Amino acid sequence: MSQQGYVAAPPYSQAQPGMGGYQGGFGTGPAQPLYGHYGGPPQPFTTPPTGMMKSPVSSAAGVPPPAVSPQYNPNVQQNGAHPQRYPAPPAASGAYGQPPQSHYNSMAPAAPPPAQQLTNQMSAMNLGNYAPGPMQSPPPPTSSVAQQHFQPCPPPAMGQPQMAPGLQSPHMSPPMSPLQSPPASMPMTGPPMASMGRPFTGPPPPGPGGFQQSGPAAAGPPGYPQQAGQFGGPMAGPQPGMPGAFPGAPGGLAGPPQKKLDPDSIPSTTQVIGDDQVKRGGQVFSTNTRGQVPPLVTTDFTVQDQGNASPRFMRCTTYSLPCTADLAKQCQVPLATIIKPFASLPKNETPLYVVNHGETGPIRCNRCKAYMCPYMQFIDGGRRYQCGFCNCVNEVPAFYFQHLNHMGQRVDFYERPELSLGSYEFVATMEYCKNNKPSNPPAYIFMIDVSYNNIKSGLVKLICDELKTLLENLPREEGTESSAIKVGFVTYNKVLHFYNVKSALAQPQMMVVSDTAEMFVPLLDGFLVNYQESRAVIANLLDQIPDMFADTNESETVFAPVIQAGVEAFKAAECSGKLFIFHSSMPTAEAPGKLKNRDDKKLVNTDKEKTLFQPQKGVYEQLSKECVAQGCCVDLFLFPSQYLDLATMADVPSHTGGSIYKYNNFQVETDGEHFLRDLRKDVQKNIGFDAIMRVRTSTGFRATDFFGAIYMNNTTDIEMAAVDCDKAVTVELKHDDTLSEETGALMQCALLYTTIGGQRRLRIHNLSLNCSSQLSELYKSCETDSLINFFAKSAYRAILNQPLKNVREILVNQTAHMLACYRKNCASPSAASQLILPDAMKVFPVYMNSLMKTAPLVGSTELSTDDRAHFRLSVLAMGVEESQLLLYPRLIPLHNMDVSVEAVPAPVRCSEERLADSGMFLLENGHSMFLWLGQASPPDLIQDIFNLPSLAHLQAHMCALPELDSPLSRKVRSIINDLLEKRPKSMKLQMVRQRDKPEMLFRQLLVEDKGLHGGASYMDFLCYVHREIRQLLT
């Protein structure tokens, strides 16, 4: 019985002659099928043409021969000999030669395909339908996810010819709704990105986990022999005039005018989100079933923990793992879990229970050290238990013994969180503490750059004024009067000033350290104090700082010594904590960690572009190590007016669980409130310190790779100087044996940390997944939002070691592979011109295309290097909610909403076509927020919102709406305030008038349209991927 997914057939899926700048287009087929027949018998391996070295496998870890450009070196975060991530590009092959660099626009329009061909294709279209496959056996119990019932047939074994479609029962589609056929003369407008300009014939795509060639089997999965297609190596440079070509391509498509395919006919993200909200919104999601797919991150739902961790803490790329490594390799869907151990829970959900076993501490398996959890099976009348992770049988300690009921369950099952819940905490004993001594409460040190720029801009005064009220709200343990967190203050330029704010003093005292090479803290007593006790002295100090430096002319600053000072202070106080550093320029003063300008736009689009993202080695690397060892987290607030080498300066925050905030060309009037909102959220958020996390799995698979604001000293321990409610760690999983469908797959994430009250605790999250030997089950249980989180993080790590072009190419190929495998093994047979997508992944191409247009992955000289590095580092620590919103922003129409109802209007698709000249739209992606106003906005709308007679009177730099008493003004302000409250970071509201210059920034976020800095529209990308899929299937 076959499964039918989403069907969509783009109009330009036939390969057409004479396509933009390639000899004879993709018309002439390659010498032999590119990947071998998809699932057909393997073809013999042909020797690559000279000049196209395939790297021979020279070692288990797949290290390439020196001839090839430097490979990605799997850093500390790999287990043992590990497959190579992102294989290096083969050198350009002679077989392809230089593509003619003719200008696309000057070429003769492409010859139209035979009209007949197009009409057939259009009639075969089945857009927007989920064609139910024929039923051959009673459907399995309905799962809450798949919209179709089906009993999948087993995929044909690799290396056997595919089952002839005639063997399956005929494909019955619902009545078709052929779309308007485009005129037969529609030219193929070139591939959506120059860098994808050829059928991909490099090494076959990697194993399931993102981007990698496995060691000895570098030839790829069976049935894809490695071979040089006729276009051996990478394309020689982008075609300059190709529409949608990556580097700064012209927007408009050349060629005769064409009718467009209706954009409403391709899968819509807003509709998928809306449907899930209707279907599962407002409901209770009980976690008592193994491998159930949770509602989308965008859906409002309540979680009831009944034995598996809430999806707020753990989400997976699929909730049904393939049983074997071969199946995983065949489908190419990465297996990963995204863990947000400190996620905030809504008010109506129960906070985690804390279990205290006193002196004995938590009960653990003797062999694998997993903690007591719902997956432990009690036997022998309750005297012993069998570990669900390693199957070892352990004795139950006498104090923990309890009888079993007739079901074999302990009588106290419901009274013990660790037996009945997916998430809970244990109080840790002394052996879990540093040096076996009880830990101290953490401290916060505020370190303010008082150089000329920050004094003149008013920033220093702004920070000092805010701290007076903010310190009243330091986070505190539930049920305590005041916060146990100690505070300290440092100001600096070329030298550091420490302040003694001991409560006994009438006036604060300043001590200066000018020897920045040998950093030390000049005072122990009085530097870190309890805020409530020293409140008067601190208020005094905060009043004095802006005046003390009012006449400064010092513009040079140091940076590494500032972090060093913080670490030394925590060492002396024997505590962990966080440094809040407010800094504005590149550290150029003579001191360790001094930086020089290495920003070079000439490197963009070359193999050396990766160096722009790499931090400078040495001082900062060592500092990260020291910070993690001490539990010192660094949060960096940057206020640059020019390049400051963010890649290097943010290296310590990005390895210590810290955050990086950036305010370009900061002005108090327009950016002050935006910065203060960030600072307040940052100081008050829920956080744990000096953390170490380990992910244990049941037999058959294991965690192999980790992405996040983390530090790895070995292959298993994820160290974080701090972990807060917004930080997520993405963990890749790999098979090391066969998994069984009966027992499923179990994971336990254990996080040891210090609370803000100074207590050492273990936070445990458990999750159980299904295992299946049917690929259709895996595709049915996929989660697009988690998949794209994984792809974003693995691509962003890869760009440190590979040309962007390769990384983009691998992303597209893996997309095509995942979808081709579904089409071949899970979908009902249908015309090749149909694009069939799995239901759970039908909007995956939108997100993938959006990811490829993000600043780090577009080679454009117009984008600032620091902004690209900042974007890259922000994403590496993101959870699924944030990455989803970032890659598909919300565009909310505000002009025609009903002001009398609570609800926010439904978002529309992120495309210019959805805007209306007389409309007003709010666009937000968690980092930026725009209020877009159409040129024809009615005057009464403008009057209601801005109290201005017309749009022409609107000031460009306005960054907040005036508080007016009209119902519309109240409603719009409440929508904006709710969003600012809800998102982890503050957003600066920017007003944008249609066709004004600032509209460019707004348009970059319309992710379904062509990218401003290169990159395809969603429609073109879908067509391109469809063509790649067909290539793989022929």
pLDDT tens digit sequence for 369-425:
999 999 999 999 999 999 999 999 999 999 999 999 999 999 999 999 999 999 999
Task: Give mean pLDDT, residues 65-91.
Answer: 42
Q: How far apart are CA 653 and CA 826, in angstroms?
A: 45
State the distance between the two ends of the chain, measured CA to CA, in whole angstroms: 23
Burial 55-73 (b: 16+ CB within 10 A, else e): bebeeebbebeeeeeebbe
Task: Give mean pLDDT, residues 665-687.
Answer: 96
Task: Give mean pLDDT, residues 95-114.
Answer: 37
* The pLDDT value given to residue 902: 86
Task: Give mean pLDDT, residues 933-959.
Answer: 91
Given a contact cutoff of 8 angstroms between Cβ atoms, the answer to whether 918 and 934 are in contact is yes
**Is the model's pLDDT at 53 over the cut of 90?**
no
Burial 187-207 (b: 16+ CB within 10 A, else e): bbbbbbbbbbbbbbbbbbbbb
Q: Where are the beta strands (DSSP E) in 78-117?
A: 84-85
Given a contact cutoff of 8 angstroms between Cβ atoms, the answer to whether 521 and 563 are in contact is no
CA dihedral 805, 806, 811, 814 (to 10 degrees): 140
* The pLDDT value given to residue 479: 87
* The pLDDT value given to residue 46: 41
Task: Give mean pLDDT, residues 14-28.
Answer: 35
**Is the model's pLDDT at 659 over the cut of 80?**
yes
Using 50, 70 and 90 to split pLDDT, how confident is the model at 7? low
Using 50, 70 and 90 to split pLDDT, how confident is the model at 889? very high
* The pLDDT value given to residue 478: 87
What is the percentage of the chain residues whose pLDDT exceeds 70?
75
* CB neighbour class for 656 (10 Å; exposed up to 12, middle 13-18, buried from 19): buried
How many angstroms separate the Cα of 718 from the Cα of each of 384, 656, 692, 703, 979?
A: 31, 11, 6, 11, 32
Task: Provide the CA 581 distance to its chain's centre, in angstroms.
Answer: 25
How, if at all, do strands 84-85 and 212-213 pair? antiparallel
Of the two residues 882 and 24, the one the predictor is more confident about is 882
**Is the model's pLDDT at 891 over the cut of 50?**
yes
**Which string of DSSP letters, residue by residue, matches 794-809?**
HHHHHTTTS-HHHHHH
Question: 452-476: per-residue pLDDT in tens?
Answer: 999 999 999 999 999 999 999 999 9
Using 50, 70 and 90 to split pLDDT, how confident is the model at 86? low
Lowest mean pLDDT among 127-141, 202-216, 498-512: 127-141
**Is the model's pLDDT at 150 over the cut of 90?**
no
How, if at all, do strands 384-386 and 393-395 pair? antiparallel
Of the two residues 284 and 227, the one the predictor is more confident about is 284
* The pLDDT value given to residue 6: 59
Of the two residues 576 and 122, the one the predictor is more confident about is 576
Q: How far apart are CA 63 and CA 218, in angstroms?
A: 11
Helix (H, G, I), strand (E, B) or coil at 634: strand
Task: Give mean pLDDT, residues 832-846.
Answer: 94
**Closest listed residue to residue 765, CA positions, set 414, 369, 352:** 352
3-state secondary structure 645-710: CHHHHCCCHHHCCCCEEECCCCCHHHHHHHHHHHHHHHHHCCEEEEEEEEEEECCCEEEEEEECCC
- H helices within 826-938, ranges in order? 844-852, 865-876, 880-887
**Is the model's pLDDT at 590 over the cut of 80?**
yes
* The pLDDT value given to residue 192: 45
Q: How far apart are CA 25 and CA 15, in angstroms?
A: 8
Amino acid sitting at position 365: C
Question: 415-433: per-residue pLDDT in tens?
Answer: 999 999 999 999 999 999 9
* The pLDDT value given to residue 798: 97
Q: How far apart are CA 630 and CA 653, in angstroms?
A: 14
Task: Provide the CA 671 distance to its chain's centre, in angstroms.
Answer: 26
Burial 390-415 (b: 16+ CB within 10 A, else e): beeebebeeebebebeeeebbeeeee
Helix (H, G, I), strand (E, B) or coil at 298: coil
Task: Give mean pLDDT, residues 478-489.
Answer: 93
Question: 897-919: per-residue pLDDT in tens?
Answer: 999 998 999 999 999 999 999 99
Using 50, 70 and 90 to split pLDDT, how confident is the model at 5? low
**Is the model's pLDDT at 435 over the cut of 70?**
yes
Given a contact cutoff of 8 angstroms between Cβ atoms, the answer to whether 311 and 289 are in contact is no
Q: How far apart are CA 329 and CA 334, in angstroms?
A: 9
Q: How far apart are CA 75 and CA 730, in angstroms?
A: 16
Residues 6+ apart with CB under 8 A from 391: 699
**Is the model's pLDDT at 45 over the cut of 60?**
no
**Is the model's pLDDT at 793 over the cut of 60?**
yes
**Is the model's pLDDT at 719 over the cut of 70?**
yes
**Is the model's pLDDT at 164 over the cut of 90?**
no
In the chain, what is the greatest distance between 2 CA atoms, to the nearest angstrom? 92
CA dihedral 878, 883, 884, 890 (to 10 degrees): 110
Q: What is the DSSP letter of 90?
A: P
Q: What is the DSSP letter of 371?
A: B
Question: 977-1012: per-residue pLDDT in tens?
Answer: 999 999 999 999 999 999 998 899 999 999 999 999
* The pLDDT value given to residue 10: 45
**Which string of DSSP letters, residue by residue, matches 701-748?**
EEEEEEESS-EESSSS-EEEEEEETT--EEEEEEESS---TTT-EEEE
Question: 867-886: per-residue pLDDT in tens?
Answer: 999 999 999 999 999 999 99
**Is the model's pLDDT at 28 over the cut of 90?**
no
Question: Radius of gyration over alpha carbons of the chain, in Å?
Answer: 29
* The pLDDT value given to residue 8: 55
Which residues are registered as beta bridge partners of 395?
A: 384
**Is the model's pLDDT at 213 over the cut of 60?**
no
Q: How far apart are CA 341 and CA 750, in angstroms?
A: 9
Given a contact cutoff of 8 angstroms between Cβ atoms, the answer to whether 495 and 477 are in contact is no
- Please provide the average confidence, as pLDDT, over all residues in the chain: 81
Given a contact cutoff of 8 angstroms between Cβ atoms, the answer to whether 704 and 734 are in contact is yes
* The pLDDT value given to residue 434: 85
**Is the pTM value of this prediction over 0.75?**
yes
